[in-house]
Structure 1
Amino acid sequence: MPRLPRPAGAAAAALALGLIAAAPASGHEPTFTDVRVVAHFGLAAGQTPENIALEPDGSADLTFALARQVAHVTLDGGTRILATLPAVAHPNTPVLHSAVVTGIARGYDGTLYVNYATGTRETGIWRIPADGGAPRQIAQLPPDGLPNGLALDWRDGVLYAADSALGTVWRVPQSGGTPTVWARGTRLDPRTVPSGAGYGANGIKVHRGAVWVSNSDRGTLLRFPFAPDGSAGPVETRATGLTGIDDFAFPGHGSSVLAALNGSSELVLARRDGTHSVVLTRQDGLSNPTSVAVRGRTVYVPGAAYSTRRDPNLLLARLRQLFNRF
């Protein structure tokens, strides 16, 4: 989520799994090879990569939050703008006060879905045709909300949007329509300023029979299992005590998580047993990382440079091992 210069606003994020407590790297800790920045973006042009979806060939689709754009980035760093969300005359997005494109998800057919937060009736989920084209709003979300992370459950054809301002997970049919509240509660809520930055539910993923959500202000990772009727089951707090979590991804079929720590410019591995460690840092090229994607052993980490103000980029690294049992 954007960390904008004052007074425009700020954004935060953090991560972990199990009741997280700092722990030194162990012999099971992943190591990365071939760590490299494959694409550099223009900060002055608002090319601040906020979220990522992967294409079958390993290329990436990124949301450029402040430019209101969606871009396609190839593995050799070539960048093409797929779509630009429409300008809003008087944006009044909570906390940010600017119109921003946030979460992104990709359908089987290549259709892209993005969250657009504006503080107006344009706030909601928008659909972009495969290979680019004119965006179209398919679901309107509350103007006083801040839709952030977005996940698609391909099995059921349902989109889940995490609302950072309203502490809500919205459920919307993939075809579009009226959103419904899927989950809501204190553990999704933001903390009020000055104890918090105003960001509650942030990153979101569908994984192994549950919806996982990070809460930036509270430094937590939550798991909502699916009830038999598809509703949200009792929430489990699977991580506490870490600051700076934005979005996250699973490096395998297990419950270990790779999370982007925005403020400290770090990537963290958090395990089910409650241990965590830093696996990539600013020295590797991270610049306020905002999200993570994993394809096989390749890890993608966009960085938006919201506070560093240097080198928004896309970093790739290769894992030596996957985490399918943890």
Structure 2
Amino acid sequence: MWKILSALKKNLVWSVPAFMIAGIIFGALADASFLKAAIVPLTFLMVYPMMINLQIAKVFAGGDFKLQAITQIINFAVVPFFAFGIGKLFFNDRPLVLLGLLLTSLLPTSGMTISWTGFARGNLNAAIKMTVIGLIAGSLAAPLYAKWLMGTAVEIPLVDVFKQIVMIVFLPMLLGFVTKKILIATVGESKYNRNLKQKFPVFSTIGVLGIVFVAMALKAKSIVSNPLEVLSFFVPLLIIYGFNFVLSTIIGKALFNRGDAIALVYGTVMRNLSIALAIAITVFGSEQGSEIALIIAMGYIIQVQSAAWYVKLTDRIFGIPAIKAQLE
């Protein structure tokens, strides 16, 4: 079972579409309304495990102010407005889909920011700091941006959004911090890092795939009646991710060394789609939330695939790292 779960996590580019299709088939053939009861536990299962390994203390490590500042400028002053413009172009008459696209752009970084930075031999410490700052800043800023940009088209219950963010971000963050302290005190830091640390993201994957399945099942009948709708979401997502990769690569090459530039790319392109999904489903209810969640779920496919390809191209873009060059 553990091998199956690990394989699902490592192959999100296939497992997410598989669970999307399974959810659509289930919802088309059966009454999926009972699945609404699974939304809250699945949301907690999705968010809480990822918070256990969150290294909050890294935020207070200095030495890279310029890198962190430019990262957050891209994350909050460039990408959301570009995504909103693309959303208006493609979905001006579909405000809930536009809101889903906006939510993906307002919640930067995830655990994959750190993973992909490591795969590409980038600056891991900088990536960890970006992840923590992006999670906290995005959680606080997302409701305000959504209200500002979408308030006339969609009713944004600002107080409810903040309450849900406390429940799905900051409470799990606190519980994750306490859990990590207890585990380290119980088994020791060495055993924790060696045996336990890598297991928590797998549980988050169960929550992600579960939420995707539920969202698709609840939306299934309208998807089946108009299947081309799902395919139409790929184009704006590809434009947004493509723009983000190109912009961050140019800025990274111009201003930073190889390691910092790679961290900048993955700290701005990777979005916290899990938190976006959680907000969509818990704040806006099963009907509206499922429509918002549909385009967010599509984002997983593009994000994982593009991140993997970028790793393969990293040496061509930024050059071979010094240690690797010496070995060769």
Using CA pairs under 8 Å that are at least 6 residues apart, name the structure with larger relative contact order, 1 or 2: 2
TM value normalised by structure 2? 0.27
Higher helix share: 2
